[in-house]
Amino acid sequence: MINKLKNKFDSFDVYQVESTDVSVDFTSRRGIVSAEQNQTRGLAIRAFQNGIMGFTSTLDFTNEDKVIQNLKESIQFGQKVNYKLPKPSSNGENVSGTKFLEIAELKEISEKLNEKLKKISSEFEFKGGLSSSRSKMSLTNSNDVNIYQDFSFTYGMIQFSKTTQNDVIMDGEHFDPKKFDDSEIDALIENISKRVVLLNKLESLNPKKMPVVFSPQGSKIITSSLISHLNGYSIYQKTSPLVGKIGEKLFDEKFSILDDPTCETGIGSRTHDDEGTKSIKMPFIENGVVKNFYHSLKTANLTNSEPTGHGMRGGINNLPSPSKSNILVQEGEISFEEMISDIKEGMLVDSVIGQGMANTLNGDFSNSVGMAFKIENGKVVGRVKGYAIAGNIYQMLKNINGISKDNESFFGSYVAPYLRFDEMNVVGG
């Protein structure tokens, strides 16, 4: 195939992926309810001729001549491009990930979890799912780039719910095992047990301006919008308020956020992106200063920038586009307990309903809270419902009143601490 491509096109890259996904689902009432394994294998090729790009993908590796014919036809209607494919950079490296588990192993962990979950509360129904994925990717291009990556990752989710005549409670916990031993299961069960106690206590707040603390998961409403504004496409289309802001201090100096594809156990870890560009740890915001945007080959060319190793395909049927790897929000120096110790009345936000961006361009948001808790006299005392929050992420991030040293990981791709903001508008109730 490679020799045939060399004889017919100016340049090309060949992307192959083989993945295995296994999953087990269970409930506290029925035990294990499903166990599945899926395997996929595919091939995608970009070919360039006279500055025009063609693209094809297939699940059938047997008919090379048909693949090449499809490429030729796609070039007739292809798009003009000005970028060049990467040259070799540390070929043949691997990323480690976490252990890949077979169905039998997932079942064993699920059964242990389920037995412990049932002892927490008979009022709540628990539903869980564990998944393990392994992906083998290879990339070869006409510049002699040869990359192979073999990566696996295991993760889980426990959902728990309770329905009464006047209330519906739905919550969940993520599970990212690293050591696959009983200590991780016990830590998860302890967190869920504490959570259930708080969920059963319904509290109320006096709507007003008050301190609001975002949990690591809840902080996504702030950081996800910011990260989208760092995307190379947003910069090229000038839909980001950060256009032209590289090197400017726009945020609190306590605030740093980076992208780390080198993290050994992150679900987005990689040595190179899906175009062959080397992936490196990259600060997006450092001590409040805008440092970098993230680019594919295409967006780097469109914005007269350098590619950053963020060109990812999202499957063989898609062309590469800018995509983050593992997002890390820098932790602070105080514990969560210290952070809230002086709050007489406030809210801890764990999730919101929808993204709720009122103005995507300038960072305004308005959200009803999904899961939130009351902070009273320095303690989290119970659940609240029916409230909403509003603000502007750029104004909030200029004055952060606290960042905890405690952080949490969600599905291995987002690690963040607790963030505190005083004088936030809380309405409803």
What pLDDT digit, counting tens, does each position of 254-298 carry? Answer: 999 999 998 887 889 999 999 999 999 999 999 999 999 999 999
Cα gap 159→126, rounded to integer Å: 6
Cα gap 28→26, rounded to integer Å: 7
Residues 27, 125: contact at Cβ < 8 Å? Answer: yes
Mean pLDDT for the stretch of residues 119-148: 95
> What local confidence, expressed as pLDDT, does residue 358 receive?
53
Cα gap 31→110, rounded to integer Å: 9
Q: Does residue 114 register a pLDDT over 80?
A: yes
> What local confidence, expressed as pLDDT, does residue 30 receive?
95
> What local confidence, expressed as pLDDT, does residue 367 receive?
87
Instruction: List domains and CATH numbers for the chain.
Output: 2-197 (3.30.2290.10), 204-429 (no CATH)
Cα gap 283→304, rounded to integer Å: 20
Residues 327, 282: contact at Cβ < 8 Å? Answer: no
189's CB contacts (< 8 A; 6+ apart) are: 113, 116, 117, 120
> What local confidence, expressed as pLDDT, does residue 179 receive?
79
Eight-class DSSP state of 320: -
What pLDDT digit, counting tens, does each position of 291-338 carry? Answer: 999 999 999 999 999 999 999 999 999 999 999 999 999 999 999 999
Q: Does residue 111 register a pLDDT over 60?
A: yes
> What local confidence, expressed as pLDDT, does residue 355 receive?
57
Share of the chain above pLDDT 70, in %: 97
> What local confidence, expressed as pLDDT, does residue 165 receive?
86
Question: In angstroms, what CA-CA distances link 61 with 16, 40, 45, 68, 128?
Answer: 10, 13, 12, 12, 37
CA 26 from chain centre, in angstroms, equals 24
> What local confidence, expressed as pLDDT, does residue 178 receive?
80
Cα gap 309→273, rounded to integer Å: 5
Residues 399, 423: contact at Cβ < 8 Å? Answer: no
Secondary structure in 3-state letters for 61-109: CCCHHHHHHHHHHHHHCCEECCCCCCCCCCCCCCCCCCCCCCHHHHHHH
Q: Quote the radius of gyration of the chain (alpha carbons, Å).
A: 24
Question: In angstroms, what CA-CA distances link 184 with 26, 195, 307?
Answer: 18, 17, 39
426's tokens: 């809380």
Residues 425, 233: contact at Cβ < 8 Å? Answer: no
Q: Does residue 91 register a pLDDT over 60?
A: no
Of the listed ranges 22-26, 219-223, 227-231, 403-407, the least confidently predicted one is 219-223
Cα gap 184→181, rounded to integer Å: 6
Q: Residue 112 corresponds to which amino acid?
A: K
Of the listed ranges 85-94, 193-202, 233-242, the least confidently predicted one is 85-94
Mean pLDDT for the stretch of residues 98-109: 93
Share of the chain above pLDDT 90, in %: 83
Cα gap 76→410, rounded to integer Å: 44
Mean pLDDT of the chain: 93
